[in-house]
Amino acid sequence: MTDIVTVKNLKVVFNEGNEQVYAVNGVDLSLHQGETLALVGESGSGKSVATHALLGLLGKDVVVTADEMLYGETDLLQTSRRQYTHLRGQELGLIFQDPLSGLNPTMRIGRQIGEGLKVHRYVHGHALKQAVFAAIEDVGLADPALIARKYPHELSGGQRQRAMIAMALVMQPKVLIADEPTTALDVTLQAQILALIKAQKVKHDLSVIFITHDLGVVANIADRVAIMYAGKIVEVGTANEIFYHPQHPYTWGLLDAVPSSDDQRDQLFTLPGTPPDLHQPIKGDAFAPRNPYAMPIDFKKEPPLFQVSPTHFVRSWLLDPRTPHYQPPVTIQKRWARFAQLHAEQTNDPVVESQQAGGVPV
């Protein structure tokens, strides 16, 4: 499968006076042509910073390094500011987390949507107006002429988010980065925006990076899911692998935070503590202080990526063959059983689960 975005060993350090913040600590990331990759993690995990580094949107006081950062065959590490402006205008689209901060409050919606067409495609006059109206209509907003004349504060939250999507798609980009696009919306509007992004991806043949802190919202939109914690990807796999065969305790906690209508648990699997202070380099596994399954090695040495399947990788010492036997939470065991059932239904063969010393089905 062709990769449209490739990132290897991405590191981002913010300089804050005499202090540094190690926001991204060696991220490897690939986005396949035509897929939706969900980047999931709690606030401060580095997911937005990593994608903003990819887009060249970080300030001068931020140090961005990587072994490789490619968009197609374009080396983004060698890209000038002018070239980046061109790429963001025509190839890479971004939906900001907060429409109120992403939209200019002093400009009418139509003018903001059409700005990229004027600057990068030299579209003017009647052709520009028709293109703007078409973009507004394309995201499900009725009466595009009326919407185009309005200012951001005159629109509802859902309308503003749709306007942001129109602004991102009007240039027909190849890659769309959606940064927490449903965070400030109620459940009904969330579902509408997710359905809209999914439909636009198919219609415009987009490759999408969908950023969120909520695993629940990506269940029906993502092809693959990458879990981030403290500036690193700790688990990545297909959506089925992450939802039904998760291997990292942090992923277990995120999944158990997703409400379920058939949930009859007396107690949730909870993660104690808080994310680490990123002002200092971290020794060992960054998740170790919060990990109920942590072993002495977790506090001394960072785990490598262990391969569970050709598409599933996990950064946890639990997958080391030398790890003593352990039992994951009951809710996770049920997910594993469901995964085995799905596998059997797809292959017509029962799953023979070989147990590592650590008790992890592989």
> Does residue 4 sit in the same domain as residue 118?
no
Higher-pLDDT residue of 261, 48 = 48
> Do residues 95 and 106 make contact, with C-beta atoms less than 8 angstroms apart?
no
Which of 269, 247, 260, 265 shows the shortest CA–CA distance to 326?
Answer: 247
∠ CA 268-269-274, nearest 5°, is: 115
Q: What is the pLDDT of residue 196?
A: 93
* C-alpha distances in Å from residue 22, one per residue of 18, 86, 230: 13, 29, 9
Q: What is the pLDDT of residue 96?
A: 86
Region 113-142 average pLDDT: 94
159, pLDDT greater than 60: yes
> Does residue 244 sit in the same domain as residue 117?
no
> Does residue 48 sit in the same domain as residue 193?
yes
Q: What is the pLDDT of residue 200?
A: 93
How many domains does one find in the chain? 2
Amino acid at residue number 263? D
Would you place residue 59 in the very low, low, confident or very high pLDDT band (cuts 50, 70, 90)?
Answer: confident
356, pLDDT greater than 90: no
Quick check: is 349 in a domain? Answer: no
DSSP secondary-structure letter at 45? Answer: S
| Rounded percentage of the chain residues whose pLDDT exceeds 90 | 75
348, pLDDT greater than 80: no
Which of 32, 45, 28 shows the shortest CA–CA distance to 4?
Answer: 32
| Rounded percentage of the chain residues whose pLDDT exceeds 70 | 93
194-203: per-residue pLDDT in tens?
Answer: 999 999 999 9
- Residue 217, both tokens: 């919202």
Region 242-263 average pLDDT: 87
Region 211-235 average pLDDT: 94
Quick check: is 342 in a domain? Answer: no
Q: For residue 210, what are the β-bridge partners?
A: 38, 178
> Does residue 76 sit in the same domain as residue 216?
yes
Q: What is the pLDDT of residue 18?
A: 87
> Does residue 253 sit in the same domain as residue 293?
yes
Q: What is the pLDDT of residue 60?
A: 84
182, pLDDT greater than 60: yes
Average pLDDT over the chain reads: 90
Region 179-189 average pLDDT: 86
Backbone phi and psi for residue 92, each to the nearest 5 degrees, phi listed first: -120, 115
Rounded distance, CA 277 to CA 230, Å? 9
Q: At 7, is the secondary structure helix, strand, or coil?
A: strand
Q: What is the pLDDT of residue 16?
A: 86
CA 64 to chain centroid: 19
Which stretch of 230-234, 265-269, 320-324 has the lowest confidence by average pLDDT? Answer: 265-269
Region 327-344 average pLDDT: 91
Rounded distance, CA 292 to CA 244, Å? 20
Higher-pLDDT residue of 291, 257 = 291
Would you place residue 352 in the very low, low, confident or very high pLDDT band (cuts 50, 70, 90)?
Answer: very low
Rounded distance, CA 70 to CA 95, Å? 21
**Terminal C-alpha separation, the chain:** 24
> Does residue 86 sit in the same domain as residue 217?
yes
> Does residue 244 sit in the same domain as residue 221?
yes
Rounded distance, CA 357 to CA 324, Å? 6
Q: What is the pLDDT of residue 264?
A: 62
> Does residue 153 sit in the same domain as residue 190?
no
> Does residue 193 sit in the same domain as residue 258?
yes
Q: What is the pLDDT of residue 254?
A: 93
Q: What is the pLDDT of residue 41?
A: 94
Q: What is the pLDDT of residue 357?
A: 31
Of 151, 172, 193, the last residue of a domain is 172
Q: What is the pLDDT of residue 346?
A: 78
Region 246-272 average pLDDT: 79
pTM summary value: 0.91
48, pLDDT greater than 70: yes
Q: What is the pLDDT of residue 361?
A: 31
> Does residue 179 sit in the same domain as residue 220?
yes
* C-alpha distances in Å from residue 204, one per residue of 133, 170, 196: 17, 11, 12
62, pLDDT greater than 80: yes
> Does residue 168 sit in the same domain as residue 190?
no
Q: 115-148: buried (b, 16+ CB within 10 Å) or exposed (e) per residue? A: bbbeeebebeeeebbebbbebbebbbbeebeebb
Kindly report the CATH number assigned to the domain that includes residue 23.
3.40.50.300
Q: What is the pLDDT of residue 359?
A: 34
Q: What is the pLDDT of residue 173?
A: 94
Q: For residue 29, what are the β-bridge partners?
A: 7
> Does residue 212 sit in the same domain as residue 151?
no
Which of 46, 42, 85, 73 shows the shortest CA–CA distance to 62?
Answer: 46
Query: Containing domain of residue 154, as a range?
Result: 103-172
Backbone phi and psi for residue 8, each to the nearest 5 degrees, phi listed first: -130, 125
Q: What is the pLDDT of residue 257?
A: 83
Q: Which residues contact 239 (CB under 8 A, 6 or more apart)?
A: 38, 218, 219, 222, 223, 224, 225
H-run or E-run covering 72:
none
